Structure 1
Amino acid sequence: MKLPFPLAEVAARHSKWLLMAGTALLVSACSATELANFPDTNRVVARADYLDRKPLPALSDYQVAAQQRVRNLLTRPMTVGAAVEIAMLNTPHLQQVYQSQQIWDEDLVLAMAEAAATETDVNHTEMDWTAARLALMKSVNTVDRFDFPKEYFDTVEDFVEVGEDVRKAYFAAVAAQQLQNMLEHAATATQAAAELANAQYQAGTANRRAQALHHMTHAEVVKALAHAKLEAVSTRETLNRLLGLWGDDANWTAPETLPPLPEARPVFDGLEEFALERRLDHLSERKSWALWHSAVDVRSEVRENYAALQIHYDIAKYQRDTVLPLSDVVLGETQLEYNGMLMGVYDLIDDTRGQVEAGREYVAALRDYWIAEAELVQSVGGALPN
């Protein structure tokens, strides 16, 4: 059984205190509490002496280092990896973890930045796992470990939950901005059409109804744009709250578009078993009957989220490869026939609306795919298999 980052590595570094001989013992170590795991008086005194010699780092040191790192990340368009890293630094609950483990210092910020620099895929990140691993490896609590499996489970689960929330909020915010940009272009086009209709009406080449139809189409797009702007503000501020950003830091730049759809439909073998090996809430169950019920729930959740991922992929791909091209063809042909006076202005306007709607549906479908992936990542324990 393989956990997302090896507890064996911690055991190797602290073998004086951790008697673990492989990943199979990780689960069994948390299945029962033995008296031998509790410290005696001498160990308590030794630990207290160690903590006296290593006082809690100054709050200001961490704050200065974290703020500088965050601002460095915000100098370029926000990626999902940058968003997760910022959340790892700024989330109050995780900061409490750093404080409790006495790693509240600039060294932790630097270690996270160095780990983030090794990531090569801008659309996927394991910074939540990385941050949790660093927190455990740097923690003074590993000096004298009595309940390491429980702390391992609790700590990593906190980081994974924050990572999922940030990923979902990030994709929602980028999608909302992309839709706003698209509707701004559409509003420019419909405004130009309305102005042309005014000129044609004044020249006597178009009637009043045709002029009004162009203006109604432009008005519909303007209203849709207003709602899109509101959605963009709402989703952006949701992400700002998760990232702990305010003031000038909240004015980060969003990418113009969502990450593209993967070329191939996502297919994973043995995903349920993979999740059972990694889901910390499942591994932390101590009674056999609770473990069985947990396994049923985990398997069901994985199947549901995996099906959602594939279906959202199919919808987005169909919208991109079939619906969008067809809407372009329809509008192009309608424009030609309208210019040749073979079709009326209502047909042209109706097909223009269809093209705008097809674009909106594709952005929504692409957003839903990436959010579905984030939910599947969470349901299998924090990262998908290669």
Structure 2
Amino acid sequence: EQVFYAEITADLATARQQATSARERLARLLGVWGGQVDFKLPKALPALPRSPKSLPNIEVEAVGRRVDLQMARIELDLLAKALNLTEATRFVTLLDLAGISRKTKEPEGAPFRQRGFDLQLQIPIFDGGEVRVRQAAESYNIALNRLTEKAVNVRSEARDAYRVYRSTYDIAGHYQREVVPLRNIISDEAQLRYGSMQIDVFALLAEAKLRIAAQRASIDARRDFWLAHSDLQSVVDGGGRSENQPESRPSTNSLASGG
């Protein structure tokens, strides 16, 4: 009992420290200081929705609504306009193509009619235009490649964010519907068996550890779902996924066997 109490006390202290650090990260994200850091948070996570979102066109929505992708498109349009202006300034009438139809007479010969085309190449009236065209074309190609890369990444992020969203929903629901209720039933049965002296206190404490570990894992699973839900919204509407990826949770067996 003393070891069990000591372990639970250590776990509680660790959880409080993690909660304090998470609150400070939230304060930094909100950009608050002074008296503003005394904001109040709910005491419990929201319940799981009845059903997950169905987003069959998640890639299309992300490509069409992402802010960073729209900014890259605007940059590409601006560079395209600059390139068109440079080309219009650079390639001014470099050649004239005129039809020819005239009579020609060789010395001491019969006259004949000459038909065809006369091609005249004109010298440009400015310097450095070709360099400007190449620079604009290179800038355009760089922006185009960046836009293509970003669009590919956005589609991949959208697919991955939705898969994480669905999997975390299923995991959290499994803990809520199956694991925690079963652990509670087993814990109640263990209490009855202990009361009838069928098991000793060590078995009862071991079962209590498993029940507590299952409850913690269920809370962590629900937290991971809401983090995935936030990441999904950020991928579709914002500028990409956040850095707060769900952490791996130890299994209930490993938590229970620690003591």
TM-score w.r.t. structure 2 length? 0.62
Cα contact 2:67–2:238 (8 A) shared by 1: no
1:253 aligns with 2:46: no
Q: Sequence identity of aligned pairs in percent?
A: 35
Q: Identify which range, 214-223 or 236-245, moves more after superposition.
A: 236-245
Tell me the SS of whatever aligns to 2:237.
coil
Q: Give the 3 Å change call, closer, same or farther, for CA 283–253 of structure 1 in structure 2.
A: closer
1:39-78 matches, cutoff 5 A:
none
Show CA shifts across 1:227-267 (max 9, x none). Answer: 01111111111112222333433222221101111110222
1:28-72 per-position Cα deviation (integer Å, ceiling 9, x unaligned): xxxxxxxxxxxxxxxxxxxxxxxxxxxxxxxxxxxxxxxxxxxxx
Q: Max radius of gyration: which structure? A: 2
| Matching residue's letter, 1:358 | A
Within 5 Å, give how 1:76-95 maps onto structure 2.
none
Q: Which residue of 2 aligns with 1:223?
A: 10
Aligned partner letter, 1:378: S
1:306-360: CA deviations, max 9, x gaps? 1011111111000111110011001000000000000111111011111111111
Paired amino acid for 1:311: S
Map of 1:290 onto structure 2 = 146
What's the counterpart of residue 307 of structure 1? Answer: 163
Structure 2 CA distance, aligned partners of 1:253 and 1:270? 37
TM-score with structure 1 length normalisation?
0.42
Q: Find the aligned partners of 2:236 and 2:69 in 1 and give their Cα distance.
A: 11
Query: Which of 380, 383, 386 in structure 1 is aligned with 2:236?
Result: 380
What pairs up with 1:1-386 in 2 under 5 angstroms?
214-285=1-72, 286=76, 287-382=143-238
| CA distance in 1 between partners of 2:185 and 2:235 (Å) | 41
Give the match's secondary structure for 1:296.
helix
What is the number of equivalent residue pairs in this alignment?
A: 170
Query: C-alpha root-mean-square deviation of aligned residues, in Å?
Result: 1.6
Q: 2:235 corresponds to which letter in structure 1?
A: S
In structure 1, runs of 5+ residues without a counterpart are 1-213
Deviations, residues 172-207 of structure 1 (Å, cap 9, x unaligned):
xxxxxxxxxxxxxxxxxxxxxxxxxxxxxxxxxxxx
Match of 2:108 in 1: none
Matching residue of 1:115: none
1:264 aligned partner, one-letter code: S
The one-letter amino acid of 1:283's match is: Q
- Secondary structure, counterpart of 1:281 in structure 2: helix
Distance of 2:28 and 2:212 partners within structure 1: 32
1:382: how far off?
3.5
The structure that is strand-richer by fraction is 2
Q: Which has the higher contact order (CA 8 A, sep 6+)?
A: 2
Partner Cα distance (1:380, 1:241) in 2? 23
Q: Return 5+ residue gaps in structure 2 as ranges.
A: 77-142, 240-259
